[in-house]
Structure 1
Amino acid sequence: MINPYQQAGYRVRVDWGPQGADAVGAGATIVAVVDVLSFTTALTVAADLGIEVYPYRWRDASASEYARRHDALLAVGRSEVDARHPVSLSPATIRTAAGVRRLVLPSPNGSTIAQRLADTGATVVGVSLRNAAAAAAWTAARLADDPDTVVAVVAGGERWRADDSLRPAVEDLWGAGAFVDALDRHGFGPLSPEAEAAAAAYQRVAGRFPQVLQDCASGRELTGYGYPQDVAIAAEVGVSRMVPVLEGVSFRACAVG
């Protein structure tokens, strides 16, 4: 029996988290990873600055050695930022850091999914609300002439603290939907029902950012912890023309004219 979770027969497919990445990413030509708060937003801010980003599953004992091996700065936890460790997963710290050329950016969701997809043969790109339109234009231009190509979109989601299970996060649904909606406007399809639902969710709130991002659960969480600027940066819809593309083990920026 054909895997029903693969969304076969559709050129644009959407699912959630690492397992969803395995399902819809199988056989995909391009996989867009979406983690709006905050991995892919941080990734697009880094791309705007020309910073090469190395995704890593999480900041454990091996992360420091990994950063040393690649002559890269290791991002710390948000609460650990100081003069010696100026960069975290917070996009605001990346924007204000000086002299950073290579960055190891751990994250349990978007970064983990990107690493998981690295060996599948698909081209992996980072998508946020900031660059969804540019990423869709970049994708459509590369795949328009081949009707057999497939684009998989993976919404990262968050993790419940109690048991580490997946929490579907509406900001990632909006980010995935912004990308899918832009692909559809380029005539790239057909969209799976899951992809259509994501696009519809984005269309419902388009024009109401940053307010809806501030009001969703993840936005309230970050604001409550003292990082409203990260939510504001994530809500910069369409400001970036850079598409972070995973080449080997790192993301490098491709500019869209």
Structure 2
Amino acid sequence: MTTAHGQATYDVRLDWGPTGGAAVARGADVAVVVDVLSFTSTLGIAVARGTRVHPFPWKDERAAAFAAERDAVLAVGRFEAAGLADPPPSLSPAQLLSSTPVERLVLPSPNGSTICAALAGPVVVGASLRNRTAVARWLRPHLDAGAVVAFVPAGERWPDGSLRPGLEDLWGAGAVLAALDLTDRSVSPEARHAAASYASVAGDLRNALADCASGRELAEGGYAADVEAAADIDAEDVVPVLTDDGFVAG
């Protein structure tokens, strides 16, 4: 790993997934994790409803024990919550909007949640299309004070476990970047590319999100409503900030 890979000469950086995120977060003051479909979209909904959210990498017996230790509810999978009159909290943003809020929630995710739990050093915040203006407004005074900010689009996973970059997360990061005036800061080409990519779809965002590979995958599985919920730009005016005791409203 070199300083070039970590984009160390830039104040505003961007790279993908756990490995890229660790590289650009080295020496950063703030890390902005973006997992539009669906961890950070669901996270923003939960925190806006007063829930303290604990990220956890995988949903298995370790997640259940982790939740029990914190007297928290363990989010269920999309399929488990589907069709219930009063669905429990899940990773599905559409289902979470109709579920009864809980005080504490453990939200497992192999992508966004895993990255949030693994990053060490910077303040970690969760961003999506749903809270992009709130995150930009929260970042502004930090940038004005000289903070270095690393954006980490989570991406998805191929069946072999390798990273699959997802346009939805590039657009989510770009949406926050586009809401910031960064003329006085040095911005890496990777971060500038995210802002330009978002600008190319901003006028038709819902259709673009539905038509990208991750959006089509969810729709084919019966979860088009999750794509619609994730595309609801600026639906929340909250910034989830990770503390030693989970995500809370910043």
Task: Name the CA distance, whole Å, in 2 between partners of 1:75 and 1:69.
Answer: 15
Q: State whether residues 12 and 180 of structure 1, in contact with CA within 8 Å, keep that contact through their aligned partners in structure 2.
A: no
- Please list the CA deviations of residues 216-235 of structure 1 after superposition, one character each: whole Å capped at 9, or x if unmatched: 11001101111111100100
Aligned residue type for 2:122: A
- Please list the CA deviations of residues 84-114 of structure 1 after superposition, one character each: whole Å capped at 9, or x if unmatched: 9622100122211114111100000000000
**Runs of 4+ in structure 1 over 4 Å off:** 82-85
Question: 2:204 matched to which residue of 1?
Answer: 208
Question: 1:3 matched to which residue of 2?
Answer: 3
Question: 2:108 matched to which residue of 1?
Answer: 106
- Please state whether the residue corresponding to 2:249 is helix, strand or coil: strand
- Please state whether the residue corresponding to 1:130 is helix, strand or coil: helix
Task: Name the CA distance, whole Å, in 2 between partners of 1:216 and 1:204.
Answer: 14
Question: 1:191 matched to which residue of 2?
Answer: 187
Q: State whether residues 31 and 123 of structure 1, in contact with CA within 8 Å, keep that contact through their aligned partners in structure 2.
A: yes
- Please state whether the residue corresponding to 2:204 is helix, strand or coil: coil
Quick one: which of 174, 178, 198 aligns to 2:175? 178
Query: Residue 44 of structure 1: CA displacement?
Result: 0.8
Task: Name the CA distance, whole Å, in 2 between partners of 1:212 and 1:101.
Answer: 34
Q: Which runs of no fewer than 5 residues in structure 1 stay unpaired?
A: none
Aligned residue type for 2:221: Y
Task: Name the CA distance, whole Å, in 2 between partners of 1:237 and 1:12.
Answer: 23
Aligned residue type for 2:109: S
Normalization by structure 1: what TM-score? Answer: 0.92
Question: 1:87 matched to which residue of 2?
Answer: 89
Q: State whether residues 92 and 230 of structure 1, in contact with CA within 8 Å, keep that contact through their aligned partners in structure 2.
A: yes
Task: Name the CA distance, whole Å, in 2 between partners of 1:193 and 1:238.
Answer: 26
Quickly say closer, same or farther: Cα 1:213–1:188, change in 2 above 3 A. Answer: farther
Aligned residue type for 2:53: V
Task: Name the CA distance, whole Å, in 2 between partners of 1:252 and 1:187.
Answer: 30
% same residue: 52
Normalization by structure 2: what TM-score? Answer: 0.95
Task: Name the CA distance, whole Å, in 1 between partners of 2:94 and 2:186.
Answer: 37
**RMSD in angstroms over aligned alpha carbons?**
1.6
Query: Residue 240 of structure 1: CA displacement?
Result: 1.6
Task: Name the CA distance, whole Å, in 1 between partners of 2:25 and 2:156.
Answer: 19
Give aligned pairs, total.
248
Question: 2:118 matched to which residue of 1?
Answer: 116
Task: Name the CA distance, whole Å, in 1 between partners of 2:101 and 2:5.
Answer: 44
Task: Name the CA distance, whole Å, in 2 between partners of 1:207 and 1:100.
Answer: 36
Aligned residue type for 1:111: S
Q: State whether residues 134 and 242 of structure 1, in contact with CA within 8 Å, keep that contact through their aligned partners in structure 2.
A: yes
Residue 153 in structure 1 maps to residue 155 in structure 2: no
Task: Name the CA distance, whole Å, in 1 between partners of 2:15 and 2:101.
Answer: 37
Question: 1:217 matched to which residue of 2?
Answer: 213
Quickly say closer, same or farther: Cα 1:179–1:188, change in 2 above 3 A. Answer: farther
Quickly say closer, same or farther: Cα 1:197–1:186, change in 2 above 3 A. Answer: closer
Question: 1:62 matched to which residue of 2?
Answer: 62
- Please list the CA deviations of residues 184-239 of structure 1 after superposition, one character each: whole Å capped at 9, or x if unmatched: x2645221000010110000001212111111110011011111111001001122
Task: Name the CA distance, whole Å, in 2 between partners of 1:243 and 1:188.
Answer: 24
Quickly say closer, same or farther: Cα 1:79–1:10, change in 2 above 3 A. Answer: same
Quickly say closer, same or farther: Cα 1:3–1:200, change in 2 above 3 A. Answer: same
Q: State whether residues 140 and 186 of structure 1, in contact with CA within 8 Å, keep that contact through their aligned partners in structure 2.
A: no
Quick one: which of 235, 242, 245 aligns to 1:246? 242
